[in-house]
Each structure stands twice: as structure tokens, then as C-alpha cells.
Amino acid sequence: MKAFSRHLLASFLALAACLEAQAQIAAWEIAGTNASTSNPKPATTLAGFIDSASLTLGSAITASAAADTFGGSGFNSTSLSSAITGNQFLSFTITPSSGHAVSLSSLTLLSGVSSATTSFHGEVLSSATGFATGASLHSYSFSTTSAPLQSITLSGVSALQNVTGPVEFRIYGWRDNAGSSTFRLRSLTGSDLVLNGTVSAVPEPSTYAAILGALTLAGVVMQRRRCSIRR
């Protein structure tokens, strides 16, 4: 019986070992960098079992050399649909290690423009939910050079839970009126773009089989003990 108990405990520990505590999946510190010299820009902080995380620009955007920012010029659309078609975005991608899955809980970011306009808009979309006008994860607007800190909850987005492949996020930008803006992530204290969540190992089929077998055996043993007591 003791040997069986140890086997059952080991099975549950094997499953529990697949879980990781919630933490930063990837974070970027923008201070001391610019998109002209650091594009793509690797994450400053990277969780274990995440192979890579990089920040880059949409193909229509010209990298800016402004210090302590990451972004570029060429944001001249006046609607989200035009920005999507025109590839006017900032982008970051995370890739979990083989045999691991990532579940995303939240995203925070600091952004702004080089010159204030009547109203500039940012829209966050992902490859998991689609780069389309009806698939926005978060939208915001501002009329100064610096947008407030954006805090976005992702834990309720099923497509961003238990993801085993690369996930790309795009922050599209567009204006209310004609013209062109330089849209960028900006630096403040600490990390300026942070993606939070958990990373977990994906158990092998043999692990599930072992646990199921142990539970089945536990049921048989308990039933036999009840029968013995009744006698």
C-alpha cells in the first residue's frame, strides 16, 4: 500500500511540475535605444521556456532614430482598416520553447507620437485572434505627444491561452486627419512594454496515462478495502 501511495503521489507531482508561476513572459526597456539601430529589438527580460521575443516595425514604417523610443514615421492612415492594409504598425512576437505552452494574462505599454495631432489612435491586435477590424483586443486615443499607460487584460481571450506556437501582437496607429505621424513606444521608469502570463510544460501522453492508471488503481484498492471491512 505504501508503494502504491508513493506511486500515486509521484504521478500528481509530475503533473504539478508542468505548471509555472505567473510572471513576466517578456518585457522591453526602451531607454537607451532607438529603432534605427535596434530593429528588431530582443526583449530585455525573457521568461524561462520562451525561445525568443522580438520587437519590430511594419513594412511601411521608416525607423526613427529618436533616443529612448522605438517606432517610426509613415503612420498616415485615417482609419484602422487603412492602417491594416498599409502595414502601419509596431509589432512584437513571442515564441515558446518546444514542449511548452504559454497562457497570457495581461499587457501593458507606453506609447506616444513625436508631434501632437488632433487625435491619434492605437489598436492592439494579435495573430491568434486575427489582424482584422473586428478583432481588436484594445483601442485607445490621445491628443498629446504621450498616451497614458495602457493596461490590457488578456486572460479572458481563449485564443491566447495554452498557445504552443509563436504569437505576434501588432499595435496599429492612425490619425483623425490627413498628415503623417511618428508613432513609437516611449521610455519611462522600468520596462515600457510588458507581457505577463504563465508558461507550462505540455505533458507527454505517457504522463496522463500514468496518472489515469494510478487513479484507477486507487479506486480498485479502496473498493477492496471497503469489502474487507464489511466482512
pLDDT exceeds 80 at position 214: no
Maximum Cα–Cα distance for the chain, whole Å? 89
pLDDT, residue 15, reads 43
Please report, for the chain, the start and end positions of each structural domain, with discontinuous segments joined by +: 1-18+203-231, 21-200
Domain 21-200, architecture per CATH: Sandwich (2.60)
Q: 81-99: string of b/e by CB count within 10 Å (b at 16+)?
A: eebbebbbbbbbbbbbeee
Contact 228, 8 (CB under 8 A): no
CB 112 within 8 A of CB 200: no
Q: What's the average model confidence in pLDDT over 126-138? A: 97
- How many CB atoms sit inside 10 A of residue 214's CB? 18
Look at residue 189 in the predicted model and tell me its pLDDT.
Answer: 84
For 11-70, the pLDDT digits (tens) are 444 444 444 445 899 999 999 999 999 999 999 999 999 999 999 999 999 999 999 999
**Using alpha carbons only, what angle is made at residue 134 by residues 133 and 136, rounded to the nearest 5 degrees?**
80
Nearest to 29 by CA among 73, 56, 68: 68
- pLDDT value of residue 43: 97
